Structure formats: structure tokens, C-alpha cells
Amino acid sequence: MKNFIWIGGLIIILIVLMTWGVRGSVNIDPPFELGVLHPLDNIKGKTDAKVVVMEYSDFQCPACRSYYPITKQLAVEFGDEVAFVFRHFPLTNIHINAEFASRVAEAAGRQDKFWEMHDLLFEKQEEWEKSTNLESLFKDYATLLSLDISQFEIDWKSKEVKDFVKAQRAHALKSGLQGTPTFFVNGEKIQNPTSIDAFRFIIKNALEK
């Protein structure tokens, strides 16, 4: 009798875990791939650019913050020759506000201001990273960008935006990525360059191939 109860309890636990797994998963079709442009990607530049720089990043990550002015400058220098792609990889185990920040950037993107919000989040990282008043701060940023605040709030809370961020994070984890930022140039993972000159050199080599 005890064995029967134990087995029955185990079955119930397995069913609960399976159900949680289904609810916890988000399917994006087509799925995200490392280094491959996706229709839903946030892209700065032309989709047919010869070189694609793809960054897996976390808005609360200090290292990502240090690379932000570098990639921004390189995007200006190379113009249409290079496409810069940002993918969300919030390290939620150590950065408690990162996932919210990703949703905020996506909500701004619904009003065609993803990259503007991207820049603000990195520039003001020290202001919001440990804040307990995030909603108010993020609404202030949205006001700076002249967004529709009501729609902005609806979007950051929406299932669609939450699922998108969750899907990109899940893709990064499934692909074995362990930290941020992680960069790919034309589908090849690179060691993080130690300077803007080193990054520029990698891009120029890719353009010459």
C-alpha cells in the first residue's frame, strides 16, 4: 500500500513538472540561431549587410555597458556595411532588474525606439540597476523619448513581450552561452576585443573576406 502511494505521488509530481515545462517554454517560429539573422531581431543597419555583428547582452551587466560606446561608434563608422544585432540574455540569477530592462527596451521598440531606449538603459545603468522604483524611472526614460506612456506600460507587461525576451534568453542558454556580452561576427563567436581598435580590426577582416 505504501509503495502504491509513493508511486502515485511520484506520478503526480512528474505530471506537474511536465505541465510546468510546457507552460514555461516559448516557441518562436522560426527558432533563433547563433549568428543567424531572425525576422524578429533588433537590427541596426541593413539586413543584407556583408558583415553581421551579433551581441548577446544584459542591460544590467557592467561589461556590456563598457562595450556599448564601442559598438555604437563602430556602427557609425561602418554604416550600411555592417549590421549590429542585439539579443537579450538577461542573467537573472545575478542581475535582478535585467529582465525588466529587456522588456522595457522591447516595449520602446513597439514604438520604433528600441535603439534609443537601448542607449538610455546603458547610459543610466547606475541609476536604475539597484532601484526599487523601476516603473517610475522607466516611465521617465519613456517620456524623454516622447513615447506614448500608456501604450509603453501595456507593452512591457504584455505576454508577447515577456515571451520574446524569455525565448531569446532560453535560446542563449540552450546554445551554451554562459556570460555577457558574447559576440558573433558572421556567425563565428569571437573573443571579446580588448579595445575599439581590436574590434575594428576584426570587422575589417570580415569585410575583406
pLDDT value at residue 103: 98
Residue 171 lies in a domain: yes
Amino acid at 92: T
Residue 47 lies in a domain: yes
- pLDDT of 8 > 80? The answer is no
pTM of the model: 0.86
Digit-coded pLDDT (tens) for 166-208: 999 999 999 999 999 999 999 999 999 999 999 999 999 999 9
- pLDDT of 81 > 80? The answer is yes
- pLDDT of 15 > 90? The answer is no
pLDDT value at residue 25: 52
Residue 8 lies in a domain: no
Digit-coded pLDDT (tens) for 123-159: 999 999 989 899 999 999 999 999 999 999 999 999 9
The residue that leads in pLDDT, 116 or 24, is 116
Residue 101 lies in a domain: yes
Residue 88 backbone dihedrals phi, psi, to 5 degrees: -80, 125
Residue 40 lies in a domain: yes
Residue 18 lies in a domain: no
List the CATH number of the domain containing 67: 3.40.30.10
- The whole-chain average pLDDT of the chain stands at 89
Residue 21 lies in a domain: no
Query: What is the total count of domains within the chain?
Result: 1
Digit-coded pLDDT (tens) for 91-101: 999 999 999 99
| Mean pLDDT of the 13-30 span | 48
- pLDDT of 109 > 70? The answer is yes
Domain that holds residue 63: 35-208
pLDDT value at residue 135: 97
C-alpha cell belonging to residue 24: 514555461
Residue 94 lies in a domain: yes
pLDDT value at residue 26: 67
Pairing of strands 82-88, 51-57: parallel
- pLDDT of 5 > 70? The answer is no
